[in-house]
Every structure is written in C-alpha cells, then in structure tokens.
Amino acid sequence: MGDTPFGARRREDIVAAEMLGAQSAHLGLVDASYRRKADGKPVYTKNTVGVPVDPDDWKCYEPIVREKLEELMLTYVGDDVQVFCPLGVGGHVDHIIVRQVVEALGAPQHITYYEDYPYAGQSNTIHLRLNSGAARDWRPMPIALTPAEVQARITAIGCFESQVPGLFPSLFERVQEIARARLPGIDSHLDFPPSPRASHKRMVASLTAYIARVGGERYWQSETRVQALPAVDPQRP
C-alpha cells in the first residue's frame, strides 16, 4: 500500500513474522480507522475499540472479510487444521468481525482463540468476552514460555514501531489523547511526540507482567451448547 499508515504496519508485520519463522498473508483489507462509507464519510469517526460494529460494516465489509478468509482457509484443508481466531478482548471492531466470520466458516473443534494483547492485559476483559454471545463451555489452554520464547515475543512486538507508542502510552500521553478528542484544534499546542525508547520499556513491563499472570501464553477452545451457529445479522450492533 505504498507509504500509507497501514502500508507501514504491514511491512512491520512481515518483519515480525519472519523473525518468528512464520509466514504472513495479507488479504488487502482496510483497517477500521481508514474505512469509508459510500458517501466518503469515515465509518468510525472517534474510536474503533469498545464501540458497536457499525451496521455499514456488517452489511458491506463483513461479506468481503468472509470471502477473503474462506478463500484463504480453503488452501489449508485437513482434519487437523486449526484456525487461530481473535477472542475479541477489548472489543476492537475488526477483531469482532473476524471472530464472527471465522465462527461462521469453521466448526468449533477447529477454532482456537487467542487473547488479544494488550487488551487482554486489562482487568476483567477476558471474562467479559468469554461470557458474551452464545452459551459456551470454555477450556483454557495455557502454554508455558521459556525465557528465550518470552524474549522472542518482546522482539516481535517491538518490530511494530508504528504501533507500540499508541498501544503503550504514558499517563501524560493518555491525557493528550483525551484532550485532542474533547478539544478540537488543540493539536497545535500539543507537540510532544512519544519517546520510542520509553514506549518500548512500558511494553516490556506490561507484557512481562501479563505473561507472569497467565503462565506464559493462554489460548481458549469452546464447545457451544447450541448446535448451530447464529446466522450473521448485518444490522446487529
């Protein structure tokens, strides 16, 4: 995507995946912050986390995600294939859409949910997400990490230089963000860019605490008590 913000993030994703020995696959989808409606107006004007998925996204964007993911999933055919799906912790609209699409395309026994970090590091967010939606029996799958694996995760997250400052802000940076949201035109008076080094240190401290709390990495599998998955409702909030 050239020099667009999401283009930079995709380049960072490739570097992080290669560092971990994984293969990345980009489907050409646009992040919620950059999506626009037919009239050119942004789909989300303020926030993309902790807000309902816009009806326009359910109607227009969800079918595109479904088509792209189905095509990708069909390239990995087999009884033992597992799809790792975001749990949707934090309520990021893109994660919610992806989760619904994956659940519509795959059987529960082939889906493993991962805890969306750093949202999963916030208190009580896991329980809120596990208890939402259809009634389920959830089975946690903790995986212990060696010191080398912890360092690999820290290094991989550090590859996302465009994202770390925004995801791990200082208290002062949080106040700046609130001021920008509530006081239009104040940007010219808030010229205090975050320190990449300080942001990285906060990330390491936050991730280390999270890993210690969950015992490494933690995944979830569910056994739905209802046989059929609910149909996609384009107007569902």
d(CA 94, CA 86): 10
| Average pLDDT of the chain, as a whole number | 84
pTM for this entry:
0.82
- pLDDT at residue 218 tops 90: yes
Could you read off the pLDDT of 28-42 as tens digits, one per residue?
Answer: 999 998 999 999 999
Average pLDDT value for residue range 69-90: 87
pLDDT of residue 169: 87
Cα-based torsion angle of the residue sequence 108, 112, 117, 119 in order, rounded to the nearest 10 degrees: 20
What does the pLDDT read at residue 78? 74
Given a cut of 70, is residue 4 above it in pLDDT? no
Mean pLDDT of 66-95: 89
Higher-pLDDT residue of 148, 135? 148
Q: What pLDDT was estimated at residue 127?
A: 78
Homologous superfamily of domain range 5-224: LmbE-like (3.40.50.10320)
pLDDT > 70: percent of the chain: 81
pLDDT(110) > 50:
yes
Give pLDDT, residue 222: 85
Overall average pLDDT of the 20-32 stretch = 92
How would you classify residue 216: left for phi > 0, otherwise alpha for psi between -120 and 50, otherwise beta? Answer: left
pLDDT tens for residues 148-176?
A: 999 999 999 999 999 999 899 887 776 66
Position 225 pLDDT exceeds 60: no
Lowest mean pLDDT among 125-134, 139-148, 149-158, 202-211: 125-134
Q: Residue 186 has what pLDDT? A: 63
Range 97-102 average pLDDT: 95
Domain boundaries, the chain: 5-224
pLDDT value, residue 1: 40
Task: Output the pLDDT for position 234.
Answer: 39
- 175-209 pLDDT, tens digit per residue, is 666 555 666 666 666 666 778 899 999 999 999 99
